[in-house]
């Protein structure tokens, strides 16, 4: 394509933008609204992702086992004794730990 043809096309495009001002403004506003809504959606997703990652780092689960429980009776409730956990495993960020 020649430079002259490119200049002709640019000049013709500017003329058409000027003659169709309402349609040009409507298309610019529509594209701006779409980009804005996409940005808002992206920010919401990024915030939820950061919240989930923070929660995964901060929350840990501790599991304690009572050595006095007989095999086959693991589903029963605690007998009410304070400090009944003699040995246990802590599950945290570092993996399983014996406590």
Distance CA 91, CA 60 (A): 6
Contacts of 58 (CB under 8 A, 6+ apart): none
Contacts of 68 (CB under 8 A, 6+ apart): 84, 86
Q: Which pLDDT does position 89 carry in this prediction?
A: 57
pLDDT tens string, the chain, 99 residues long: the values are: 799 999 999 999 999 999 999 999 999 999 999 999 999 999 999 999 999 999 888 887 777 777 776 666 555 555 554 444 445 555 655 555 555
Question: What is the value of pTM for the model shown?
Answer: 0.50
């Amino acid at each position: 394509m020649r430079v002259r043809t490119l200049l002709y096309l640019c000049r013709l495009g500017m003329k058409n933008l000027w003659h169709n001002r309402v349609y040009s403004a409507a298309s610019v506003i529509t594209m701006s609204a779409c980009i804005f809504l996409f940005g808002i959606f992206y920010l919401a997703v990024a915030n939820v992702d950061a919240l989930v990652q923070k929660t995964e780092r901060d929350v840990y689960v501790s599991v304690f086992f009572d050595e006095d429980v007989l095999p086959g009776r693991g589903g029963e409730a605690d007998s009410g004794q304070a400090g009944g956990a003699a040995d246990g495993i802590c599950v945290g960020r570092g993996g399983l730990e014996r406590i």
